[in-house]
């Protein structure tokens, strides 16, 4: 059985100092800034996946847009340092980050949704980013403390695939997280990696809000028949085996690819499609977080 890591072990692994006991005035100031930033966020959600290409960023982007369209104040933070795709998915590529007297301004998607990603800082999208853990940690800290987010109902964090330094850093910096949403595809090779993501959440003591099976079945637009290209139901079986909630299935939808390529989030531009309905179902527990606290 896996031994649970202590908070200190988690902090040591992600290259951070123990923020509970600052050693000098500079650290005290940093800690106050961090606490003040974190206290302005009501709900913190990590979107995780065992491996890349399963639709994690697509889910994170659409989740953020859907919540913002419901009137929630949302921050979307892309901490995938090596493959930031949120700027493209939201049609925000090339937008400059502005410095104002109040701080650095995240990129505005709409009145309710602000976005930050290392992608906004790279001059060229092909620029390679070779960073060690402590540097990634300080970038993520800056994303929290130097950005002027304002009060947020939700912070959605799009993590890189796997269980590396970035999710450890954000968990340590946020202190407490409402939970992780894990995205997978139905086939076995992907599900093996998902077990690791669930175990990771258990080890760092964050609740698993649930598992989403993405690219689950293709409904032929011509004959209406369903084809399970990557099998089906694997995510649900795994969720039940590992005793985590199954949030639902999102079908393989060619228009989702086009919407990502065009930077027009699917849930904003194809609101009434069956895929959008499937998407909205998987978002219900996230929206319920606010209702549970009588905010929504
Ligand atoms: P990840 O963040 O897991 O690497 P992305 O969100 O970048 O994955 O998605 C990878 C590719 O798969 C993108 O081209 C995206 O448009 C596409 N995609 C995601 N979900 C679906 C879906 N349900 N149907 C069809 N294509 C999808």
Mean pLDDT of the region 177-195 = 87
Residue nearest to atom 16 of ligand 1 (CA): 257
pLDDT confidence tier of residue 15, bands split at 50, 70 and 90: very low
Distance 37 CA to ligand 1 centre (A): 31
Is 12 a residue whose pLDDT tops 50? no
Pocket test for ligand 1, best of 83, 257, 270 (most atoms within 8 A of CB): 257
Is 291 a residue whose pLDDT tops 50? yes
Pocket test for ligand 1, best of 88, 218, 260, 267 (most atoms within 8 A of CB): 260
Atom of ligand 1 nearest to the CA of 61: 6
pLDDT confidence tier of residue 172, bands split at 50, 70 and 90: very high
Distance 38 CA to ligand 1 centre (A): 30
Find, among 257, 232, 239, the residue nearest to 182 by Cα.
239
Highest mean pLDDT among 126-135, 206-215, 248-257: 206-215
For the ranges 9-18, 92-101, 118-127, 220-229, which has the lowest average pLDDT? 9-18
Is 295 a residue whose pLDDT tops 70? no
pLDDT value for 13: 46
Mean pLDDT of the region 51-57 = 93
Alpha-carbon span 58 to 200, nearest angstrom? 22
Mean pLDDT of the region 224-245 = 81
Angle formed at CA 32 by CA 135 and CA 155, multiple of 5 degrees: 65
Q: Which residue has the tokens 């040591």?
A: 12
Instruction: Give the number of residues written for the chain.
Output: 296
pLDDT tens for residues 88-107? 999 999 999 999 988 899 99
Q: What is the 3-state secondary structure of the chain?
A: CCCCCCHHHHHHHCCCCCCCCCCCHHHHHHHHHHHHHHHCEEEEEEEEECCCCCCHHHHHHHHHHHHHHCCCCEEEEECCCCCCCHHHHCCCCCCCCEEECCEEECEEEECCEEEEEHHHCCCCCCCCCCCCHHHHHHHHHHHHHCECCCCEEEEEEECCCCCCHHHHHHHHHHCCCCEEEEEECCCHHHHHHHHHHHHHHHHCCCCEEEEEEECCCEECCCCCCEECECECCHHHHHHHHCCCCEEEEECCCHHHHHHHHHCCCHHHHCCCCHHHHHHHHHHHHHHHHHHHCCCC
Find, among 72, 70, 80, 115, the residue nearest to 267 by Cα.
70
Neighbours of 145 (CB within 10 A): 20
Q: How many percent of the chain have pLDDT more than 90?
A: 55
Q: Specify which residues 100 forms β-bridges with.
A: 103
Q: Which residue has the tokens 């990502």?
A: 260
Is 158 a residue whose pLDDT tops 50? yes
pLDDT value for 122: 79
Ligand 1 binding site (Cβ under 6 Å of any ligand atom)? 49, 52-58, 85, 214-215, 250, 252-253, 256-257, 260
Distance 256 CA to ligand 1 centre (A): 7
Mean pLDDT of the region 208-233 = 80
Highest mean pLDDT among 105-119, 221-235, 244-258: 105-119
Is 74 a residue whose pLDDT tops 60? yes
């Amino acid at each position: 059985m896996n031994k649970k890591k202590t908070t200190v072990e988690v902090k040591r692994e992600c290259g951070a100092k123990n923020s509970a006991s600052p050693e000098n005035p500079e650290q005290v100031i940093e800690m106050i800034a961090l606490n003040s930033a974190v206290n302005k966020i009501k709900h913190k959600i990590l979107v995780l996946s065992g491996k890349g290409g399963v639709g994690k960023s697509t889910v994170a982007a659409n989740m953020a847009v859907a919540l913002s369209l419901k009137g929630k104040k949302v921050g979307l933070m892309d901490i995938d340092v090596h493959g930031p795709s949120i700027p493209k998915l939201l049609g925000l590529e090339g937008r400059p980050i502005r410095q104002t007297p109040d701080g650095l301004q995240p990129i505005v998607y709409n009145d309710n949704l602000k976005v930050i990603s290392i992608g906004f800082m790279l001059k060229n999208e092909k620029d390679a980013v070779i960073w060690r853990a402590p540097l990634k940690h300080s970038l993520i800290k800056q994303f929290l403390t130097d950005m002027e987010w304002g009060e947020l109902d939700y912070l959605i964090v799009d993590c890189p695939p796997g269980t590396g330094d970035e999710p450890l850093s954000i968990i340590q910096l946020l202190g407490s997280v409402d939970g992780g949403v894990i995205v997978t595809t139905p086939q076995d090779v992907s599900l093996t990696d998902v077990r690791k993501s669930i175990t990771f959440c258990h080890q760092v003591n964050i609740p698993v809000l649930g598992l989403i099976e993405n690219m689950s079945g293709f409904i032929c637009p011509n004959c209406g028949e369903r084809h399970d290209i990557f099998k089906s139901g694997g995510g649900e079986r795994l969720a039940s085996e590992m005793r985590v909630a199954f949030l639902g299935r999102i079908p393989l939808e060619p228009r989702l690819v086009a919407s990502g390529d065009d930077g027009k989030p699917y849930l904003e531009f194809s609101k009434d499609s069956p895929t959008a309905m499937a998407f909205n179902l998987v978002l219900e527990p996230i929206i319920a977080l606010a209702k549970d606290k009588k905010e929504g």
